[in-house]
Amino acid sequence: MANIVQFENVGLRYGQGTETLVDVSFSLSEGGFYFLTGPSGAGKTSLLKLLYLAQRPSRGLIRLFGEDVVTLSRNRLPGFRRRIGVVFQDFRLVPYLSAFDNVALPLRVAGVEERDLVTPVEEMLAWVGLSERSGARPATLSGGEQQRVAIARAVIGRPEILVADEPTGNVDPEMAGRLLYLFDALHKLGTTIVVATHDVHLLSRVSSAEMMRLDRGRLSDPTGALRYPPRGPVAAS
């Protein structure tokens, strides 16, 4: 199976401080499901920023979809980012848009006609339990409701890679299970899923998932599920 992500000796430093990520090397298979774990301050959010192209590394190689993205020109970045769905820890909903319009935003950006987006957006809002709140703006939604809108927005366009930073942190266990089921369904359709979480109980909820663990900016491999650096050549997508 082709690798959709490759990191090779990646380091990330903010300003003049010590490196937040140190010699990070791994590859992710196309259509795989991965949990990223580790203590607070381990560098999980920083690694995710590199994955969804919000940050460039200080050193090393990153390839997404078979291309070197470290040297990617700015005018090509938007096209790559549209292939990646992101669930931010702080939600980042557009405050003046309703829940419906926040979820519809990726489809509109992609040029989907209004008549063709109503049904998928309504179905997605129903899936996350927010049919009755589709007209509500973010300020009137609870933290858990905002989280569910953010997740619906991230998955509505069937991204090739979905990156989620603590996506179940503001929802109850029942909804957390439903959201993981949604992620697993996307994974089975071919989306590569990366979920950063502190909740070790989630790790047993997706039988096909593998674990990546960060500790002080370095990847460790306590389960043997992944090897760092990857063995064998990386296939181009």
Q: For 5-9, 53-57, 202-206, which range has the lowest pLDDT when averaged over its residues? A: 202-206
Q: For 74-88, 125-139, 142-156, 177-191, which range has the lowest pLDDT when averaged over its residues? A: 177-191
Q: What is the mean pLDDT of the chain?
A: 87
Alpha carbons 184 and 180: distance in angstroms, whole number = 6
Q: For 61-70, 188-197, 227-236, which range has the lowest pLDDT when averaged over its residues? A: 227-236
pLDDT of residue 172: 82
Q: What is the pLDDT of residues 82-97, one digit of tens each?
A: 999 999 888 999 999 9
3-220 CATH fold: Rossmann fold (3.40.50)
Q: Are 61 and 108 in contact (CB under 8 A)?
A: no
Domain ranges of the chain: 3-220
Could you tell me how far CA 122 lies from the centroid of its own chain?
A: 22
Strand partners, 67: 64
146 contact partners, CB below 8 Å, separation of at least 6: 91, 93, 138, 170
Q: What percentage of the chain has pLDDT greater than the value 90? A: 62
pLDDT of residue 45: 93
H or E stretch covering 87: strand 84-87
**DSSP state letter for 20:** E
Strand partners, 26: 7
pLDDT of residue 227: 41
